[in-house]
């Protein structure tokens, strides 16, 4: 099972982020998802929301370019996570700018929910810049909508476990995995948005999931600049996913 | 009356519309960045209800115990041909009534009160809290709580509390404990009373009070409409109707119901959305509360105090105090997000009827069907009458959801006489 890690660009600051990415690259991480700070990261949980606030002041294009370059040179693929609400005013120039950064694709968590009516236009703007879309769907995405964007899209699908963050829904991962498979078919699915602990990771691995993404759980290490704890956690994850 | 094989008519699963919607439903959001109002749901709503609220399952099994209680309270409800009403209106098609007033508590509200109370008691609750407008919901909660060996506390909107004293007696008879809202029992209520001692109250205010009370006393809260889980429970109306039509060899061509928060309407029509035929669906609201024509489509609070999360829906504003019409159940600023979306994209039409026309429709209805319908249902009836008069030769089979009976609302006729 592949491992994706989520970081907010510029959090807690550019140096600490670099150190963490270094540890990630030495510990078998296959993909990194980099969140562009947004003033309204509305579909993230309270903890990730806070990172956006802090990161706003630290973000720099040059730092992002360097990060993606370094990740790529270690064989790690990088993906941009972007809230459309923060770039919609100048979408084309934003996409043009990041198209040269070296990202392997883009994740737009608010596309289906808040920009559904303009979706086709946004998809063609991405195509024009040669940027792959990684569809982000959740348990409450209607079947027809999920099937459509999946047919339009790229290599893998990001499946959010929680329909809305903050709610501790007593889902059965098995049921959820079955449902995701039924809609997505044989394309690669990455489960994330709500993965918190090792037993969940082990269960997804046993169910046959292709990949997982971890985000909020890393914040406790980032906040305290605890690269040692982060490394130990990655080692645990690696055991659970192999 | 259609009472062939009840077990065949009573479904064993509820239907949830979320995965069949044309667009993704926007999730509830918190006003502040800390998502506290969303986390709060975890504290006051039974876990199983939350799961159903955000479910990815199209069908949810109805627990055996809930099915048994459904039978006790009078499900399945009858589907009745209103032949005399057809004659009166000179309508060439058929008019069929799904009569939710036929349940023991007198409305569709019992359909969701039973499972909510069942899950609350299963998760260890001994008491539940809720609000009520006209009193139909409170009555259903009072009985559902007692059937599940729990107590209930009910905040009743002041205008209705004053208009309908017998309602309070009924709720108490069923074992409920009723307070007029705004009340002295919550900070929100006290604040409102200080500003306006004569406040008529509203559903939005009563919801705020009930939630505050539930939080303070660590109790489970039951919501009577708007939420996906409630509309899913109410799908029993549409699922039964579909089965009954099938047994009768009929096909629905027009579906009409009334909308307060949207639960009886959504529950009635959603199971028909995937039918191959283009069934006309008309949601009838009060002209006095014109949410679909004058409301805005966007995020707004469920309750007046803004304790609960915001939902994307048609709304007249969470602070809107509706005029004191008799249809207490329609005095609500918003409407269920799924229904709002389908109205906005044109799949479902809407109609607005004012109180005088409703009173007249209720009279005609009583004299041609014998049913004393609830004022809320009177809106659906009036819309159906408009439809029949406008399209006398249409020959379309119309099915009308009569959400409740109006024996406790007879004072509506005092104003105009009979
Ligand atoms: C008889 C009756 N019909 C309709 C309603 C409106 O609610 P909803 O739109 O959720 O069905 C109510 C609400 O109290 C009611 O009591």
- Count of pairs with CB atoms under 8 A, one residue in A, one in B: 82
Q: Give this complex's ipTM.
A: 0.82
Give the CATH architecture of domain A2-241.
Alpha-Beta Barrel (3.20)
What is the per-residue pLDDT for B34?
58
> Token pair for residue B351?
């109609």
Measured between alpha carbons, how far is residue B352 from residues B12, B143, B328, B382 in Å?
Answer: 35, 32, 16, 9
What is the per-residue pLDDT for A163?
61
Quick check: B27 contacting A, CB < 8 Å? yes
Q: Do residues A29 and A79 lie in contact, with contact meaning Cβ atoms separated by under 8 Å? A: no
Which residue in A113, A144, A168 is closest to B26 by CB distance? Answer: A113
The predicted model gives B331-347 an average pLDDT of 96
The predicted model gives B370-398 an average pLDDT of 96
- What are B154's strand-pairing partners? B130, B178
In angstroms, how far apart are the furthest CA atoms of chain A? 46
What is the per-residue pLDDT for A47?
83
Whether the pLDDT of residue B60 is over 80: the answer is yes
Ligand 1, CB cutoff 6 Å, lining residues:
B 107, 109, 133-134, 136-137, 225, 258-265, 329-330, 374, 376-377, 403-404
DSSP code at position A186: T
Which residue in B21, B38, B47 is closest to A170 by CB distance? Answer: B47
The 3-state DSSP class for residue A242 equals: coil
Measured between alpha carbons, how far is residue B118 from residues B114, B142, B149, B173, B297 in Å?
Answer: 6, 13, 9, 20, 34
Q: Which residue of chain A has the CA closest to B30? A: A42
Rounded CA-CA distance B235/B244 in Å is 14
Whether the pLDDT of residue B261 is over 90: the answer is yes
Cβ atoms within 10 Å, residue B389: 11
Whether the pLDDT of residue B282 is over 70: the answer is yes
Counting residues of chain B whose pLDDT is more than 70, the rounded percentage is 97
Rounded CA-CA distance B133/B375 in Å is 12
Quick check: B123 contacting A, CB < 8 Å? no
Boundaries of every domain in chain A? 2-241
CA distance A159 to chain B (A): 13
Whether the pLDDT of residue B1 is over 50: the answer is no
Q: What are phi and psi of A150, to 5 degrees?
A: -70, -35
Ligand 1 atom with the shortest distance to the CA of B267: 11
> Token pair for residue B352?
């607005």
CA distance B318 to chain A (A): 21
CB contact under 8 A, A164 and B30: no
Boundaries of every domain in chain B? 14-63+110-221, 74-107+233-416
Measured between alpha carbons, how far is residue B253 from residues B95, B169, B250, B277, B278 in Å?
Answer: 10, 41, 10, 8, 8
Counting residues of chain B whose pLDDT is more than 90, the rounded percentage is 80
The predicted model gives B233-237 an average pLDDT of 98
Give B160's pLDDT tier (boundaries 50, 70, 90).
confident
The residue with tokens 């501790």 is: A168
What is the per-residue pLDDT for B306?
86
- Write out chain B residues lying below 8 Å of A43, CB-based: 27
Identify the residue whose C-alpha is closest to ligand 1 atom 7. B260
> Token pair for residue A141?
């995405």
Give B33's pLDDT tier (boundaries 50, 70, 90).
low
CA of B49 to the centre of ligand 1 (A): 20
Q: Which residue of chain B has the CA closest to A138? A: B56
What is the per-residue pLDDT for B6?
80
Q: Which helix (H) or strand (E) holds B37?
A: helix B36-44
Q: Which residue of chain A has the CA closest to B51? A: A169
Q: Do residues B413 and B359 lie in contact, with contact meaning Cβ atoms separated by under 8 Å? A: yes
**Three-class SS of A41-100:** CCCCCHHHHHHHHHHHCCCCHHHHHHHHHHHHHCCCEEEEECCHHHHHHHHHHHHHHHCC
Whether the pLDDT of residue A4 is over 90: the answer is yes
Residue-averaged pLDDT of chain B: 93
Q: Do residues B286 and B259 lie in contact, with contact meaning Cβ atoms separated by under 8 Å? A: no
Whether the pLDDT of residue A97 is over 80: the answer is yes
B289-324 burial code (b ≥16 CB/10 A, e <16): bebbeebebebbbbbbbbbbbbbbbbbbebebbbeb
What is the per-residue pLDDT for B276?
67
* B74-107+233-416 fold: Rossmann fold (3.40.50)
The predicted model gives A160-177 an average pLDDT of 75
Rounded CA-CA distance B29/A113 in Å is 12
Q: What are phi and psi of B192, to 5 degrees?
A: -65, -40
Q: Which residue of chain B has the CA closest to A114? A: B26
Ligand 1 atom with the shortest distance to the CA of B137: 14
Rounded CA-CA distance B273/B278 in Å is 8
What is the per-residue pLDDT for A167?
64
Rounded CA-CA distance B175/B5 in Å is 32
Q: What are phi and psi of B64, to 5 degrees?
A: -55, -45
Q: What are phi and psi of A6, to 5 degrees?
A: -105, 135
Rounded CA-CA distance B368/A132 in Å is 64
* Model confidence pLDDT, tens digit, residues A47-75: 888 999 999 999 999 999 999 999 999 99
Q: Which of A38, A162, A164 to mutate: most B Cβ within 10 Å? A: A164
Quick check: B407 contacting A, CB < 8 Å? no
The predicted model gives B373-384 an average pLDDT of 98
Whether the pLDDT of residue B32 is over 70: the answer is no
Rounded CA-CA distance B304/B188 in Å is 10
Rounded CA-CA distance B354/A134 in Å is 50
Rounded CA-CA distance B256/B383 in Å is 8
What is the per-residue pLDDT for A8?
97
Whether the pLDDT of residue B417 is over 80: the answer is no
Give the residue from B246, B193, B204 showing the smallest Cα distance to B226. Answer: B204
Whether the pLDDT of residue B303 is over 90: the answer is no
Ligand 1 atom with the shortest distance to the CA of B263: 10
Which residue in B22, B24, B50 is closest to A169 by CB distance? Answer: B50
DSSP code at position B347: S
Rounded CA-CA distance A174/B314 in Å is 36
> Token pair for residue B326?
């008799």
Q: Which of B18, B19, B22 to mutate: most A Cβ within 10 Å? A: B19
Q: Which helix (H) or strand (E) holds A238?
A: helix A227-241
Interacting residues of B197 by C-beta distance below 8 A, sequence separation 6+: none
Quick check: B391 contacting A, CB < 8 Å? no
Give the residue ranges of DSSP H helices in B123-270: 136-147, 158-163, 165-173, 187-195, 203-217, 228-248, 263-269
Give the residue from B52, B43, B179, B22 showing the smallest Cα distance to B112. Answer: B52
* Model confidence pLDDT, tens digit, residues B118-153: 999 999 999 999 999 889 999 999 999 999 999 999
* Model confidence pLDDT, tens digit, residues B161-203: 998 889 999 999 999 999 999 999 999 999 999 999 999 998 8
Whether the pLDDT of residue B2 is over 50: the answer is no
* Model confidence pLDDT, tens digit, residues A121-143: 999 999 999 999 999 998 888 99
Give the residue from A62, A78, A60, A61 showing the smallest Cα distance to A21. Answer: A78
Q: Which residue of chain A has the CA closest to B52? A: A169
* B14-63+110-221 fold: Rossmann fold (3.40.50)
- Write out chain B residues lying below 8 Å of A145, CB-based: 21-24
What is the per-residue pLDDT for B401?
98
- What are B401's strand-pairing partners? B98
Quick check: B33 contacting A, CB < 8 Å? yes
Give the residue from B336, B278, B331 showing the smallest Cα distance to B312. Answer: B336
CB contact under 8 A, A140 and B56: yes
């Amino acid at each position: 099972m592949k491992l994706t890690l989520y970081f907010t660009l510029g959090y807690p600051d550019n140096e600490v982020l670099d150190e963490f990415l270094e540890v990630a690259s030495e510990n078998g991480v296959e993909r990194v998802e980099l969140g562009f700070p947004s003033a309204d990261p509305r579909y993230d949980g309270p903890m990730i929301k806070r990172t956006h606030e802090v990161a706003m002041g630290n973000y720099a294009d040059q730092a992002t370019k360097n990060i993606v370059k370094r990740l790529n040179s270690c064989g790690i693929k990088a993906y941009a996570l972007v809230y459309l609400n923060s770039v919609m005013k100048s979408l084309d120039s934003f996409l043009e700018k990041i198209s040269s950064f070296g990202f392997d694709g883009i994740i737009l968590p608010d596309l289906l929910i808040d920009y559904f009516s303009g979706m086709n236009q946004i998809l063609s703007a991405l195509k024009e810049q040669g940027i792959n879309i990684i569809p982000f769907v959740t348990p409450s995405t209607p079947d027809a909508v999920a099937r459509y964007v999946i047919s339009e899209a790229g290599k893998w699908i990001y499946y959010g476990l929680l329909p809305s963050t903050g709610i501790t829904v007593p889902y059965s991962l098995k049921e959820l995995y079955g449902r995701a498979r039924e809609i997505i078919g044989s394309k690669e699915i990455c489960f994330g948005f709500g993965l918190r602990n090792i037993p969940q990771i082990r269960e997804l691995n046993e169910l046959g999931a292709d990949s997982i993404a971890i985000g909020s759980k890393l914040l406790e290490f980032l906040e305290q600049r605890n690269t040692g704890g982060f490394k130990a956690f990655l080692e645990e994850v690696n055991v659970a996913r192999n | 009356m259609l009472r062939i094989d009840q077990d065949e008519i009573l479904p064993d699963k509820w239907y949830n519309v979320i995965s069949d919607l044309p667009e993704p439903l926007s999730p509830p959001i918190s006003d502040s960045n800390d998502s506290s109002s969303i986390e709060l749901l975890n504290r006051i709503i039974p876990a199983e209800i939350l799961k159903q609220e955000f479910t990815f399952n199209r069908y949810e099994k109805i627990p055996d115990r809930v099915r048994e209680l459904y039978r006790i309270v009078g499900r399945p409800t009858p589907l009745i041909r209103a032949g005399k009403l057809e004659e009166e209106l000179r309508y060439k098609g058929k008019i069929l009534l799904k009569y939710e007033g036929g349940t023991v508590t007198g409305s569709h509200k019992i359909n969701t009160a039973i499972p909510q109370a069942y899950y609350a008691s299963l998760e260890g609750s001994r008491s539940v809290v809720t609000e009520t407008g006209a009193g139909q919901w409170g009555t259903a909660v009072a009985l559902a709580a007692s059937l599940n060996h729990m107590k209930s506390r009910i905040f009743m909107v002041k205008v209705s509390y004053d208009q309908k004293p017998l309602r309070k007696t009924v709720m108490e008879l069923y074992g409920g404990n009723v307070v007029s809202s705004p009340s002295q029992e919550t900070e929100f209520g006290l604040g409102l009373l200080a500003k306006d001692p004569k406040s008529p109250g509203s559903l939005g205010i009563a919801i705020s009070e009930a939630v505050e009370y539930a939080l303070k006393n660590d109790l489970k809260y039951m919501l009577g409409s708007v939420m996906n889980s409630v509309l899913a429970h109410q799908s029993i109306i549409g699922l039964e109707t579909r089965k009954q039509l099938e047994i009768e060899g009929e096909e629905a061509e027009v579906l009409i119901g009334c909308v307060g928060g949207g639960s009886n309407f959504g529950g009635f029509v959603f199971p028909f959305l995937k039918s191959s035929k283009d069934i006309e669906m008309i949601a009838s609201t009060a002209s006095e509360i014109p949410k679909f024509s004058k409301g805005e489509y966007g995020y707004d609070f469920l309750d007046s105090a803004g304790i609960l999360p915001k939902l994307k829906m048609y709304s007249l504003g969470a602070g809107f105090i509706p005029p004191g019409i008799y249809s207490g159940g329609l005095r609500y600023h918003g409407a269920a997000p799924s229904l709002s979306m389908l109205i906005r994209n044109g799949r479902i039409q809407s109609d607005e009827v004012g109180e005088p026309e409703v009173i007249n429709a209720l009279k005609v209805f009583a004299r041609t069907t014998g049913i004393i319908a609830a004022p809320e249902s009177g809106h659906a009836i009036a819309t159906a009458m408009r439809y029949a008069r406008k399209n006398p030769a249409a020959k379309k089979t119309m099915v009308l959801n009569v959400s409740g009976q109006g024996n406790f609302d007879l004072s509506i006729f005092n104003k105009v006489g009979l």
